[in-house]
Amino acid sequence: MKKKTLSILFALVLVLSFSMIPAMPAMANDIQSSTMIFEGTLTDNGDGTYSGVIPMVDESVGPIGDGAAGYDIYAEDGASAWFGNDPGTGPVWTEQPISNHDAWPTWPTDTPDWYQYSLNFTVEDGLQKWAVRNHPGATAEHPWYQTGYEKIAKGVPMSGTMDWVGMYAAETDVGAYLPGTGTPEIPDGAANYGGGPMCWDMDWSWGSEVVPLQYPGFSVKVIPLGNSEYRVILTPALPSYGFVTGGGWIDSPPGAYMPDPVGTIVVTPSNVGVDWFTNDTRYEGYAAFVDGPGNPPLCSGSLEMGTKSGQDKAQLFNYDYIGTLLADIDSITYATYRHSTSTNPPAQYPSINIEVDYVGDGSSYTTLVWEPIYAYGQSNLALDTWQSWDTMAPSQTGFQGGWWSTKNIPGVCASNCFVDWNTIVTKNPNAKIKYGFGVNVGSGWAGVFTGAVDALSLTVGGDTTTYDFEAVAPPTGKATFGFVSKYKKGASLPDGQTQFVFRTADLNFHSDSYEWLIIAGENARFKGAGTVNGEGGYQFMLWAGDEEPDTFRIKIWTEENNVETVIYDNGMNQLIAGGNIVVHKK
Q: Which residues contact 128 (CB under 8 A, 6 or more apart)?
A: 48, 49, 50, 121, 122, 161, 162, 163, 164, 520
17, 100, 151, 214, 526 from 25: Cα distances, Å: 18, 12, 35, 22, 40
What is the C-alpha separation between 356 and 334, in angstroms, rounded? 19
454 and 482 housed in the same domain: no
Give the residue from 425, 441, 469 where a domain finishes: 469
d(CA 508, CA 406) in angstroms, rounded, equals 51
Rounded to two decimals, the pTM is 0.55
CA distance 105 to 110: 8
How far from each other are the two terminal CA atoms of the chain, in whole angstroms?
37
pLDDT at residue 247 tops 60: yes
Using a 10 angstrom Cβ sphere, with 0-12 exposed, 13-18 middle and 19 or more buried, the burial of residue 52 is: middle
- CA distances 235 to 72, 127, 222, 420, Å, are 11, 21, 12, 63
Query: Is the same domain home to 227 and 301?
Result: no
What is the chain's percent helix, strand, coil content, to nearest 5? 10, 45, 45
Dihedral class, residue 15 (left if φ above 0, else alpha if ψ from -120 to 50, else beta): alpha
- Using a CB cutoff of 8 Å and minimum separation of 24, what contacts does 414-421 make? 418/374, 418/375, 420/392, 420/394, 420/395, 421/326, 421/329, 421/391, 421/392
Residues 176 and 307 in one domain: no
Q: Does one domain contain both 194 and 249?
A: no
> 492-551: per-residue pLDDT in tens?
788 899 999 998 888 999 999 998 888 877 888 899 999 999 999 999 999 999 988 899
Last residue of a domain, one of 414, 439, 469: 469
What is the pLDDT at residue 265?
86
Please, what is the average pLDDT of the chain? 88
Does the pLDDT value for residue 21 go beyond 60?
no
State the residue range of the domain holding 182: 4-237
Per-residue pLDDT tens digits for 127-151? 789 999 999 999 999 999 999 999 9
Give the whole-angstrom CA distance, residue 218 versus residue 76. Answer: 14
273: helix, strand or coil: coil
Contact 114, 71 (CB under 8 A): yes
Look at residues 422, 445, 469 and tell me which one is the last residue of a structural domain: 469
How many Å apart are CA 128 and CA 197, to the nearest integer? 17
Report, as an integer, the average pLDDT of 274-288.
92
Q: Is 162 found in the same domain as 126?
A: yes
In this structure, are 364 and 506 located in the same domain?
no
Q: Look up residue 116 and give its DSSP letter.
A: G
Q: Are residues 328 and 250 in the same domain?
A: no
| 229 and 277, same domain (yes or no) | no
Residue 162 contacts residue 121 (beta carbons within 8 Å): yes
My answer on whether 441 and 541 are in the same domain is no
Other CB atoms within 10 Å distance of the CB of residue 398: 8
List pLDDT tens digits, range 497-511: 999 999 888 899 999
Shared domain check, 520 and 481: yes
H or E, element range at 37: strand 36-41
Cβ contacts of residue 91 below 8 Å, gap of 6+?
Answer: 84, 85, 186, 189, 208
Per the structure, how many domains does the chain have? Answer: 3
Q: How far apart are CA 332 and CA 349, in angstroms?
A: 16
- CA 392 from chain center: how many Å? 27
Which pLDDT band, with edges at 50, 70 and 90, does 585 fall under? low
CATH of residue 352: 2.60.120
Of 2-6, 107-111, 205-209, 461-465, which range is least confident?
2-6
Q: Please tell me the distance from the alpha carbon of residue 568 to that of residue 574, in angstroms, as a whole number.
A: 14
Same structural domain, 513 and 418: no
Q: E strand or H helix at 265, and its extent?
A: strand 264-267
Give the burial class of 265: count Cβ atoms within 10 A of its Cβ; 0-12 exposed, 13-18 middle, 19 or more buried.
Answer: middle
CB 312: neighbour CB atoms within 10 A? 22
Contact 539, 559 (CB under 8 A): yes
Are both 91 and 175 inside the same structural domain?
Answer: yes
**Residues with Cβ within 8 Å of residue 189, at least 6 apart in sequence:** 84, 91, 203, 208
Residue-wise pLDDT for 317-340, tens only, equals: 999 999 999 999 999 999 999 999
481 — pLDDT class (breaks 50, 70, 90): very high
